[in-house]
Amino acid sequence: MWFRKGRKLKTACAMRKIEATVQKQDLLCIEAAAGPTGFVVFGASGDLAYRKLYPSLYELYCHDLMSHHFYLLGCGRSDLSDEAFRDSIKNNLQQTLDRPNQEKLHTFVRHFSFVSGDYADDSFYQKICQRMTVQEEQFKVNGSRLFYLSVPPFLYEDIAGRISRMKLHCPAVSGRMQNVRLVIEKPFGRDLDSAENLDRVLHHHFRESQIYRIDHYLGKETVQNILIFRFANSIFEPVWNRNYIEHVRITAAEQLGIEHRAGYYDQSGALRDMFQNHLLQMLALVAMEPPVSFEADRLRDEKAKLLRSVRPILPRDVPAQFVRGQYAAGAIDGRPVVGYRQEKGVPQDSATETFVAGKLFIDNWRWKGVPFYLQTGKRLRRKLTEILVTFKQVPHSMFLPGEWADMAANTLRFQIQPEEGMYLSLQAKRPGSKICMSTLEMAVDYQQVFGVKMPESYQRLLLDCMLGDQTLFSRHDSVIASWQLLTPVMEFWKNQQNLVMYPAGSDGSDTQNILAK
């Protein structure tokens, strides 16, 4: 059983939940609105742009966190007029958002335009340059330029190079120095060699301070809250180490299969798609040392240092530390679903993993000997992303004699999705019998406690891009450290057919229980 499964004490007392209240709202609340910005989105007619970028920008616009002096120039191969592009965005937002303000929506899309062309054609970038000049004058944008590459990763290098050669990156055509940023989506390479090559190419055209590598998990409220929880509360720091914590488990489980991404996913797999980026970034936030200040590079220094402290994985240790699986036919919520090899576009003999579980150790003073279990998979029983910190059991129980002496350990859980919240389990006496013990869970459901709809993670990340704040973005040294750690695993798996098949809709137990090792 790879999902969280707490031990049950032999007692009739059930777990009780204690709901949280906020005693002092906005003890410290700092938010800055972005200044004038010009967006140039490559791949502007793609799925990611419509699902994430445009709804998030609209929400920022409605909350006055985004200057009304902005423009968005969509770039792509699709043959779209400005009016057709605006209509498609307007229709999409009307369908996906909950009753958007029609007047604001109409004003918002007026700032959008589109230019068609081939990414490998220099004349395409000449047209982009001309349109940017017109848009900057029309919307009085004299601030930042943000180039967003919502395209397949193999296009990153070519587009970045052509932006540079056209002198769009800095300085501007007018000769005025600008704040120019390049935003790219994961994956940042598919192995160590390609990641290092991508860095070399990008750094040839842009400074590291201009490059924003988006990991949308880092924009989620609960993930951000790990920093506040750890470093704004003095009661947890003394026990946040090997002396009191038994193990940490980070889980990212999905009910969905590969959807329409067979071409990408079969070349990637769960290790590259989720483990190398999302899971290792969450591991870094949970385990890193306190930064000297809440500045982007000070925080990212500690994350990089933590990732370099993870014990290297030797090829001979891969079978003991990692397990991989692939989903077979099964059922999700009573609905039959096909296996991975029966998905459209997937080879019938594919050895691509859809499930990975790994056991890592951090060789530093704080965490020596504490196992960190990271696991992710598709087509599992339920959608769940969480970080579960399990503390050591009490050394001796004076309350529960004999066979009941194995008392449940305290746990602290950061739930990231589907609902965001924090949960701390404690043992307490119930009224009545002299000894009647219950597990109480102190629960903080973010949406319930704060009474607001949780913002989409892209809202936070896009606002930070406009503000020039790289705190929640991956830096090149952390990316390289992640690939260095996992390279032995990928090399070992190249010549191994050690896939474990698990039925869709299961909890992943058929992939073996490495957590018991």
Q: Is the per-residue pLDDT at 387 higher than 80? A: yes
392 token code pair: 């050591």
Tell me phi and psi for residue 112, to 5 degrees: -100, 145
List, in sequence order, every beta strand (DSSP E) within 77-227: 112-116, 144-149, 180-185, 211-214
pLDDT at 54: 96
Beta carbons of 104 and 97 less than 8 angstroms apart = no
Please state the rounded mean pLDDT for residues 400-423: 80
The pLDDT value given to residue 10: 40
Confidence of residue 204 (pLDDT cuts 50, 70, 90): very high
- Among residues 477, 493, 192, 516, the alpha carbon closest in space to that of 359 is found at 516
Which pLDDT score, from 0 to 100, does residue 292 have?
Answer: 93
Helix boundaries (H) for 97-145 = 102-109, 122-138
Higher-scoring residue by pLDDT: 439, 19: 439
The residue that leads in pLDDT, 33 or 476, is 476
- Which residues make Cβ contacts (< 8 Å) with residue 405, sequence separation at least 6? 397
User: Taking the CB of residue 266, how many other CB atoms lie within 10 A of it?
Assistant: 18
Work out the number of other CB atoms within 10 angstroms of the CB of residue 230: 16
pLDDT in tens, 327-373: 999 999 999 999 999 999 999 999 999 999 999 999 999 999 999 99
Other Cβ atoms closer than 10 A to 390: 20
Separation of CA 260 from chain center:
20
Q: Average pLDDT for residues 131-146, to the nearest whole number?
A: 90
User: What confidence tier does 433 reach under pLDDT thresholds 50, 70, 90?
Assistant: confident
What does the pLDDT average to over 439-450?
82
Q: How confident is the model at residue 4 (pLDDT cuts 50, 70, 90)?
A: very low
- How many helices (H) and strands (E) would you count in the chain? 15, 18
In CATH terms, the fold of domain 37-185 is: Rossmann fold (3.40.50)
What order of strands is seen across the sheet that includes strand 384-391? 16-19, 437-445, 421-429, 411-417, 384-391, 245-253, 371-377, 355-361, 322-328, 500-503
- Examine domains 37-185 and 218-508 and report if their fold is the same: no
Instruction: Look up residue 423 and give its two tokens.
Output: 């949960």
Q: What tens digit of pLDDT does each residue of 255-314 get?
A: 999 988 888 899 999 999 999 999 999 999 999 999 999 899 999 999 999 999 999 999
pTM of the model: 0.89
Please identify which residue in the block is written with the tokens 């925080």: 299
Is residue 425 packed enough to be buried (19+ CB in 10 Å), middle (13-18) or exposed (0-12)?
buried
Please give the full DSSP string across 298-355, using - where no structure is assigned.
HHHHHHHHHHHHBPPPPGGGHHHHEEEEEEESEEETTEEE--GGGSTT--TT----SE
Residues noted as catalytic: 278
φ, ψ of residue 361 in degrees (nearest 5): -125, 145
- Which pLDDT does position 496 carry in this prediction? 78
Q: Is the dihedral of CA 182, 30, 142, 176 positive or negative?
A: negative
Average pLDDT, the chain: 87
DSSP-derived 3-state class of residue 406:
coil
User: How far is it, in rounded angstroms, from Cα 198 to Cα 194?
Assistant: 6
Calpha distance 35→40 (Å, rounded): 16
63 contacts: CB under 8 Å, gap ≥ 6: none
Read off the DSSP letter of residue 474: B
pLDDT the model gives residue 176: 43
Contact 106, 73 (CB under 8 A): no
Confidence of residue 451 (pLDDT cuts 50, 70, 90): confident
Instruction: Give the pLDDT band of residue 514 (cuts 50, 70, 90).
Output: very low
At residue 404, what is the residue type?
Answer: W
User: Which CA distances in Å does 71 have to 142, 145, 241?
Assistant: 11, 10, 48
Question: What is the dotted CATH code of the domain comprising 218-508?
Answer: 3.30.360.10
Handedness of CA 195, 356, 377, 501 (dihedral sign): positive
SS3 50: helix
pLDDT in the model for residue 512: 47
pLDDT at 6: 39
Domain definitions of the chain by residue range: 37-185, 218-508
Q: How far apart are CA 275 and CA 72, in angstroms?
A: 33
The residues, ordered by sequence, that sit 6+ positions from 245 with a Cβ below 8 Å of its Cβ are: 239, 370, 389, 390, 391, 392
Q: Which residue has the higher pLDDT, 69 or 398?
A: 69
Q: Tokens at residue 83, please?
A: 């009016």
Does pLDDT of 170 surpass 90? no
CA dist 209 and 200 (Å) reads 14
Q: How far apart are CA 326 and CA 348, in angstroms?
A: 12
In contact, 400 and 9? CB cutoff 8 Å: yes
